[in-house]
């Protein structure tokens, strides 16, 4: 009979994690609570028949070390979406236990235990994971039979939809099995995030964000609201912003003159999460570059100046013509970035 442990989130899980690792190393399977009912973990040498097993995964670098090709879209999903009920099918020529037709499946389940379990079992080699389709630990244990060595009981778990399966390569992505992770979230999370940074996030960076949306939408022949589905997500923030404020009245008015809309803008401060999620960070002045480097060294891509090697002066407190000239300068320099983002 397997060992059965009741999951208690208030108790130190280190012993449970150790038992999980020891059980897998000994050649038995482990039943854990997951995001679609209960999950089974086992090593490839163990004979278990469950549909669509995947390799238990956490970070892109660890997956790449297995000889797997990871596209930019796949990296974004690993960083922005995981852990989640989302299986990624990635191109590979390596001999992996879940590889079929030169694609291998990877899964990072959404349950607090996996934050600790995955690093603890990384040295065991590929560990397989699959949904059992069961809402109780007892049913999952019965399904695995003699293969189960450890069962973690977290009470009845909602099953709902299965995990979404997404095939991702350098040409793009497609859903091969729809499930709990929605398509609109995939569109949003695989988009290229372009982050504009100024001081208070009320004048320059909101204008840059709004005008960039307008330029890209015109280039792609879509509305600004459709940009995430077309692969682009524009954001802005300030190195000294408090958050929750609106764009300056003059910035809103000038944006409207140029076909952009800042009326729904809410200011936000720069933070590590924004920087780590961004693909491009574009600052208005050298002082913004220095602030980013000093406070967030090594977080996200290297920030660049919007105006090449020149600062963009802050129009705050000035008249409408100064704001118009600021907008014209932003547009002129954004034109340099558009080919980089969408191709000429």
CATH number at residue 26: 3.90.870.10
Tokens standing for residue 178:
């729809």
Query: Does 336 lie in the same domain as 241?
Result: yes
Q: Is 155 left (phi over 0), alpha (psi -120 to 50) or beta?
A: left
User: Looking at the predicted structure, is the pLDDT value of residue 2 above 90?
Assistant: yes
Residue 314 designated active-site: yes
User: What is the predicted pLDDT for the residue at 228?
Assistant: 85
Do 163 and 201 reside in the same domain of the chain? no
Instruction: Kindly tell me if the per-residue pLDDT of 294 is higher than 90.
Output: yes
pLDDT at residue 95 in the model: 84
Q: Which of 108, 198, 307, 326 is catalytic?
A: 198
Mean pLDDT of 83-106: 89
Same domain for 207 and 59, yes or no, is no
pLDDT given for residue 119 in this prediction: 93
What CATH number is attached to the domain comprising 284?
Answer: 3.40.50.2300
pLDDT score for 102: 85
Instruction: Select the more confidently predicted residue: 344 or 25.
Output: 25
Residue 198 is among the residues annotated as catalytic for this protein: yes
Residue from 107, 157, 204, 268 carrying the catalytic annotation: 204
Query: What is the pLDDT, as a whole number, of residue 174?
Result: 94
Q: What is the pLDDT of residue 157?
A: 95
Q: Which of 130, 160, 187 is the last residue of a domain?
A: 187
202 and 246 inside one domain: yes
CA distance 169 to 37: 29
Mean of per-residue pLDDT scores for the chain: 94
Q: Which residue has the tokens 């764009």?
A: 247
Alpha-carbon distance of 279 to 291, in angstroms, equals: 19
| Per-residue model confidence (pLDDT) at position 4 | 97
Other CB atoms within 10 A of residue 6 CB:
12
pLDDT in tens, 96-125: 887 777 899 999 999 999 999 999 999 999
Q: What is the pLDDT of residue 229?
A: 81
Same domain, 145 and 258: no
pLDDT of residue 231: 87
The CA-based angle 90-92-95, given to 5 degrees, is 125
Taking Cα atoms as reference points, which of 123, 87, 111 lies closest to residue 31?
Answer: 111
Our answer to whether residue 313 is catalytic in this structure is no
pLDDT given for residue 25 in this prediction: 97
Residue 245 is predicted with a pLDDT of 94
Domain boundary among 130, 164, 187: 187
Q: Are residues 266 and 301 in the same domain?
A: yes
Predicted pLDDT at 192 = 93
Per-residue buried b or exposed e for 265-299, using 16+ beta carbons within 10 Å of the residue's own CB: bebbebeeebbebbbbbbbbbeebbebbeeebeeb
Point out the domain boundary residue: 159, 187, 215: 187
Q: How far apart are CA 180 and CA 324, in angstroms?
A: 46
The predicted model gives 84-96 an average pLDDT of: 91
Average pLDDT over residues 78-91: 94
Q: Which residue has the tokens 């020529």?
A: 93
- Identify whether residues 163 and 312 lie together within a single domain: no
- pLDDT band at 55; cut points 50, 70, 90: very high
pLDDT value of position 282: 98
DSSP annotation of 92 reads B
How much of the chain exceeds pLDDT 90, in percent? Answer: 83
For a pLDDT cut of 70, what percent of the chain falls above it?
100
Distance of alpha carbon 144 from alpha carbon 88, whole angstroms: 25
What pLDDT is recorded for position 201? Answer: 98
pLDDT at residue 32, as a whole number:
98
> In this model, does residue 27 exceed pLDDT 70?
yes
* Per-residue pLDDT at 254: 98
Range of the domain at 316: 191-342
Q: In the chain, which ranges are continuous DSSP H helix?
A: 14-25, 60-64, 72-80, 112-121, 137-144, 183-189, 204-220, 249-257, 272-277, 286-295, 320-342
Number of domains in the chain: 2
How much is the pLDDT for 340?
93
Q: How confident is the model at residue 238 (pLDDT cuts 50, 70, 90)?
A: very high
pLDDT band at 230 (very low <50, low <70, confident <90, very high): confident
List 115, 169, 311, 314, catalytic entry: 314
Q: Is 120 exposed, middle or buried (0-12, 13-18, 19+ CB in 10 A)?
A: middle
């Amino acid at each position: 009979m397997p060992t059965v442990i009741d999951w208690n989130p208030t108790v130190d899980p280190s012993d449970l994690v150790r038992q999980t690792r020891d059980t897998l190393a000994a050649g038995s399977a482990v039943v854990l609570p997951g995001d679609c009912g209960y999950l089974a973990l086992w090593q490839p040498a163990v004979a278990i028949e469950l549909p669509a097993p995947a390799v238990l995964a956490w970070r892109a670098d660890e997956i790449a070390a297995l000889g797997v090709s990871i596209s930019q879209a796949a990296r974004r999903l690993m960083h922005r979406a995981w852990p989640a009920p989302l299986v990624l099918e990635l191109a590979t020529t390596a001999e992996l236990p879940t590889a079929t037709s030169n694609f291998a499946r990877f899964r990072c389940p959404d349950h607090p235990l996996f934050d600790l379990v995955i690093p603890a079992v990384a040295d065991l080699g590929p560990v397989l994971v699959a949904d059992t389709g069961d809402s109780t630990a007892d049913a999952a244990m019965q399904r695995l039979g003699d293969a189960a060595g450890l069962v973690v009981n977290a009470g009845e778990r909602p099953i709902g939809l299965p995990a979404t399966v997404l095939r991702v390569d350098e040409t793009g992505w497609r859903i091969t099995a729809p499930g709990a992770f929605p398509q609109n979230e995939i569109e949003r999370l695989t988009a290229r995030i372009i982050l504009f940074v100024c001081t208070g996030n009320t004048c320059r960076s909101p204008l840059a964000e709004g005008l960039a949306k307008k330029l890209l939408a015109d280039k792609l022949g879509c509305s600004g609201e459709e940009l995430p589905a077309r692969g682009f997500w524009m954001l802005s923030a300030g190195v000294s912003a408090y958050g929750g404020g609106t764009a300056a009245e003059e910035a809103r008015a000038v944006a409207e003159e140029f076909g952009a809309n800042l009326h729904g803008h809410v200011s936000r401060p720069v933070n590590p999460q924004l920087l780590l999620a961004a693909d491009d960070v574009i600052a208005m002045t050298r002082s913004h570059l220095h602030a980013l480097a000093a406070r967030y060294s090594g977080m996200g891509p290297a920030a660049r100046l919007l105006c090449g090697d020149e600062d963009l002066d802050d129009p705050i407190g000035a008249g409408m013509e100064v704001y118009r000239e600021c907008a014209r300068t932003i547009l002129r320099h954004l034109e340099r970035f558009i080919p980089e983002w969408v191709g000429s």
